[in-house]
Structure 1
Amino acid sequence: MSETVLIADDHPLFRQALSLAVTRVLPDARIVEAGTLAAAAQAVAGAQDLRLILLDLKMPGAVGYSGIAMLHAECPSVPILVVSSAEASVAADEVRSFGAIGFLRKDSDLAQIEAAIAQALGGKAVRAAAESPQTPLDAIRREVAELTPMQFKVLLAVLDGQLNKQIAHGLGISEATVKAHMTAIMRKLDVSNRTQAALVARSLGLDLRH
């Protein structure tokens, strides 16, 4: 069975360029494309032998760095290489803290993209030229990256201002399960209530009002 690479970007022409780069590095790869975060999550759930995810930060359904955290929670063993127009000095270290293997600017040339894809497939971190030093927030970002898919969905619902009853209805789980997830989330974020959890999440770039 051929190995699968997911390309998640809302620009068809750029997806085509990434497809070309992937086929040069991994000629037999099965390439799956997604134009929204929801489509990417669906593709991840159904993909066989997924080797790599190429992800744009700004695409429909993505909230700050939520796309990375969500897909990393769904498949923590699969490397995620962020390919974005964001400033490397701002985003490069943050995307890795949320679970990505590295960051690459969209204006990189084809040779640089191919090299980054090869590094990511080999499990090597892809570093941008201008990355800022680690900060205390990076440790918290790593905790967010360790949330389960359901815990992350609960956290996003809290950010959206939903009550436990609404969250339970929206996710198809019981209120008791929501409370259990919130307890685990607060423990991982080292906070004592849901308001503090929301504040921490917003400080990490997960604010739904972005």
Structure 2
Amino acid sequence: MSETILIADDHPLFRQALALAVANAAPLARVIEAGTLNAAARAAAEADDLRLITLDLKMPGAIGYSGIALLHAEKPDVPILVVSSAEGALAADEARAFGAVGFLRKDADLSQIEDAMRAALNGTSAHGTSADPVDQVRREVAGLTPTQLKVLLCVLDGKLNKQIAFDLGMSEATVKAHMTAIMRKLDVQNRTQAALVARSLGLDLTN
């Protein structure tokens, strides 16, 4: 069975290193690369046989953990392995909360990355759910559609509906409809509250 692995990282040399790891962990896999979050989202949407995504959090177009949420929304059944230089003791937990199956720092040994890839491909790095209210809200954010997440990220960037409509190529009425759905899913009353919820969960975290 054919399989594709997406490597999403804005550093060409590190993409080469990850491609080497893929060659050892899954020799028959086809590798596709993306240097921006938008390119990664397009590649994920177009790949029918996608089996694994490796993702750097610090990519052009990404805000905090939004890359995980967006790619998870595009392909909810495809495991996402974060390989990033993001700092912070909670980074791994936050990454998993938004849909990643694992987190490795970029200074990890190549053998560790290969083992993590094999585990993700075998489905052995799945994580359980939590009853914590904050984790529940994270899951709700992670459950937004790709377009809803793009709209929410534009709101976090301080853009008005007219600007969002222009950037995303849709009508203002469609933007308003997406905002209504977002607020309903996040159980908030207005766009400011929606932005505050997303911000509190690290979606606009600068790493």
TM-score by length of 1: 0.88
Residue 94 of structure 1 contacts residue 138 of structure 1 at CA under 8 Å; is this kept in 2?
no
Deviation of 1:47 after TM superposition, in Å, equals 1.9
Residue 140 of structure 1 contacts residue 189 of structure 1 at CA under 8 Å; is this kept in 2?
yes
Deviation of 1:108 after TM superposition, in Å, equals 1.5
Say whether residues 1:37 and 2:53 are aligned partners.
Answer: no
CA distance in 2, matches of 1:161, 1:208: 15
- AA matched with 1:176: A
Q: CA RMSD in A?
A: 2.2
Say whether residues 1:175 and 2:172 are aligned partners.
Answer: yes
- AA matched with 2:121: L
Q: Which structure 2 residues correspond to residues 1-210 of structure 1 after superposition, within 5 A?
A: 2-87=2-87, 89-125=89-125, 136-207=133-204
Equivalent residue pairs, number: 205
Residue 88 of structure 1 contacts residue 105 of structure 1 at CA under 8 Å; is this kept in 2?
no
Deviation string, structure 1 residues 7-50 (Cα, Å, up to 9, x no partner): 11122222122111111121111001112212212221322301
- AA matched with 1:77: D
TM-score by length of 2: 0.90
Change (3 A) 1:50 1:67: same
CA distance in 1, matches of 2:87, 2:77: 26
Structure 2: segments with no counterpart, 5+ residues: none
Change (3 A) 1:105 1:184: same
Residue 65 of structure 2 contacts residue 204 of structure 2 at CA under 8 Å; is this kept in 1?
no
Residue 25 of structure 1 contacts residue 117 of structure 1 at CA under 8 Å; is this kept in 2?
yes
Change (3 A) 1:88 1:114: farther
CA distance in 2, matches of 1:3, 1:177: 35
Change (3 A) 1:88 1:22: farther
Change (3 A) 1:74 1:138: same
Residue 151 of structure 2 contacts residue 175 of structure 2 at CA under 8 Å; is this kept in 1?
yes
CA distance in 1, matches of 2:121, 2:158: 39
Deviation of 1:193 after TM superposition, in Å, equals 0.8
Deviation of 1:209 after TM superposition, in Å, equals 7.1
Residue 159 of structure 1 contacts residue 208 of structure 1 at CA under 8 Å; is this kept in 2?
no
Deviation of 1:134 after TM superposition, in Å, equals 8.6
CA distance in 2, matches of 1:164, 1:14: 37
Deviation of 1:2 after TM superposition, in Å, equals 2.6
CA distance in 2, matches of 1:125, 1:208: 25
Structure 1: segments with no counterpart, 5+ residues: 128-132
- AA matched with 2:149: F
CA distance in 1, matches of 2:95, 2:206: 19
CA distance in 2, matches of 1:159, 1:53: 25
Deviation of 1:100 after TM superposition, in Å, equals 1.1
Q: Name the residue aligned to 1:130.
A: none
Query: Percent same amino acid among aligned pairs?
Result: 74
